[in-house]
Amino acid sequence: MMENRQKIPVPRRSFLWSLNETSGEILTHIGPTEFTPSANDRIVRANERGGYEQAPMEARPFVIARDGEYVLLHNPPVSRDADSSAPNGSFVPGGNKERDLWLGTTKIIPGPCAFPLWPGQSAEVRPAHKLGANQYLLVEVVGAIDEQAPYFDLVMKSAGLSSVVIDGVGDNGETQPGERSVEADTVGPARKLRIGQRIVIQGRHTQLFIPPTGIEVVPAIEDAPEAEAAGDDGEAIATLEQKLRDELKIMLGRVDEGLTSKQFSVLKNELRHRGELSLGERAIMLTALDEAWASRSQAKASAPTVVGTPTRDPTTPTRARPSCSARRTSASSSTPTVTRGSSRVRPGCSPARTTPSCSVALGVGSTTPTS
Q: Which of 232, 138, 146 is nearest to 178 (CA)?
A: 138
Query: What end-to-end distance do the CA atoms of the chain give, in Å?
Result: 106
Spans of the chain below 50 pLDDT = 1-4, 162-163, 167-190, 222-231, 307, 309-312, 314-333, 342-346, 350-368, 370-371
What are the phi and psi torsion angles at 305 (to 5°)? -100, 130
Residues 6+ apart with CB under 8 A from 345: 323, 324, 325, 351
Q: What SS3 class is residue 101?
A: strand
Q: What SS3 class is residue 318?
A: coil
The per-residue pLDDT for 180 is 38
How far apart are the C-alpha atoms of 160 and 191, rounded to whole Å? 7
The per-residue pLDDT for 93 is 94
The per-residue pLDDT for 261 is 84
Q: Mind spelling out the 3-state secondary structure of 9-65? A: EECCCEEEEEEECCCCCEEEEECCEEECCCCCEEEEEECCCCCEEECCCCCEECEEE
How far apart are the C-alpha atoms of 105 and 216, rounded to whole Å? 12
Q: Which of 25, 9, 27 is nearest to 91 (CA)?
A: 27
Alpha-carbon separation of residue 331 from 23, 358, 365 (angstroms): 126, 22, 9
How far apart are the C-alpha atoms of 275 and 180, rounded to whole Å? 6
The per-residue pLDDT for 226 is 42
Residues 6+ apart with CB under 8 A from 130: 207, 208
Q: Contact, 281 vs 147, CB < 8 A?
A: no
The per-residue pLDDT for 206 is 93
The per-residue pLDDT for 329 is 45
- Note the pLDDT tens digit of each residue in 30-61: 999 999 999 999 999 998 888 899 999 999 99
Whether pTM > 0.85 for this model: the answer is no
Residues 6+ apart with CB under 8 A from 158: 164, 165, 199, 200, 201, 202, 205
**What amino acid is encoded at 319 in this protein?**
R
Residue spans per domain, the chain: 1-125, 128-218, 222-299, 326-362
Q: Contact, 25 vs 38, CB < 8 A?
A: no
DSSP 117-161: PPTT-EEEEEEPEE--TT-EEEEEE-S---TTSTTHHHHHHHHHB
Count CB neighbours of 72 within 10 A. Answer: 17
β-bridge mates for residue 96, sequence order? 28
